[in-house]
Amino acid sequence: MMQSTWTCLVGLAVVCASVFASENVDPVRSNYTVSDGHATCIVMATGIRLKIPYVGTNKNYTTIIDVPANTTGSSGKCQNSDGSETLTIQVYPTFTVTLVFGNSSVNPNSYEWKSISLTYKLDGAHFPNATNTGQPISEQLLLANGSLSSTFGGSFSCQGRQDFVMNDGTIFTLSDLQYRAFGVTDSTVFSESNVQHCSADDEDHPNTDLAIAIPVGIALAACIVIVVVIYVVASRVRGPEESGFSDD
């Protein structure tokens, strides 16, 4: 009896730790490009995570979608009518992410990130128990002027996580980002010069691995404490004999 009890409790600890740790592990970093046949205007490398709230049959849910490395593809346009450039990522057949870049409105001779748009359907595979399965959803977030800006010919980099909250509460997370827009050559390699870094990447920024390891370790320790408490309480309820102790 004790053996099976410990096996169940260990399994509970593993599940508990994995739930806490999953959000502390960065999504897989993928590469995206947009070309018009003459030049590769957009080059991006980043991990993307979407944390989407939705209404279920008897309660509210949240689903976490990491954009996989083997997405069905990316596309875009190097010259829209308003002078902007677009990167569209096909997460899966009914889910797309569209990113728009344009001339910076605050920094001279620079470009910036203009908006993030999501278009998807509430399918059963990614949104279990959704009340409106099959319903199309569209969201857009306009970024503040000067967001993720770099000079023409350069790139923007941010190794830390960046969270953007959409209008309905969806959290769009970028990790280990580097991107370049308005490129005029075929190169898909980021130059080591002329890189604009985010404020989180200064010399005082803590080591990324350590920043991940600390919350994961705390979560695991908390799970162990919970499991031990459950075991002690259950042992006392079962009585001395079933908990492995005797009065002999």
How does pLDDT run across 193-203, given as a tens digit for each residue? 899 999 877 65
pLDDT greater than 50 at residue 171? yes
Average pLDDT over residues 46-73: 91
Contacts of 125 (CB under 8 A, 6+ apart): none
User: In whole angstroms, what is the distance from residue 153 CA to residue 194 CA?
Assistant: 8
Longest dimension (CA), the chain: 88
Residue 205, pLDDT above cutoff 60: no
186: exposed, middle or buried (C-beta count within 10 Å: 0-12, 13-18, 19+)?
A: exposed
- pLDDT, residue 75, reads 94
Q: Which position has the higher pLDDT, 176 or 72? A: 176
Nearest Cα residue to 111 out of 164, 44, 187, 203: 44
pLDDT greater at residue 237 or residue 111: 111
Mean pLDDT of 117-131: 96
Mean pLDDT over residues 137-152, rounded? Answer: 96
Confidence of residue 161 (pLDDT cuts 50, 70, 90): very high
- Model pLDDT, residue 124: 93
26-48 mean pLDDT: 94
Task: Indicate the average pLDDT of the chain.
Answer: 82
Q: Single out the residue of 238, 239, 226, 243 nearest to residue 10, CA to CA.
A: 226
Distance, in Å, from the CA atom of 204 to the CA atom of 117, rounded to the nearest integer, reads 33
Distance CA 144, CA 161 (A): 17
**Residue 226 in this model has a pLDDT that exceeds 70:** no
- pLDDT at position 240 is 54
pLDDT at 185 over 70: yes
Residues sharing a CB contact under 8 Å with residue 208, sequence separation 6 or more, in sequence order: 159, 160
Higher model confidence: residue 70 or residue 88?
88
Residues 111 and 89: their CA atoms lie apart, in Å, by: 20
pLDDT at 1 over 60: no
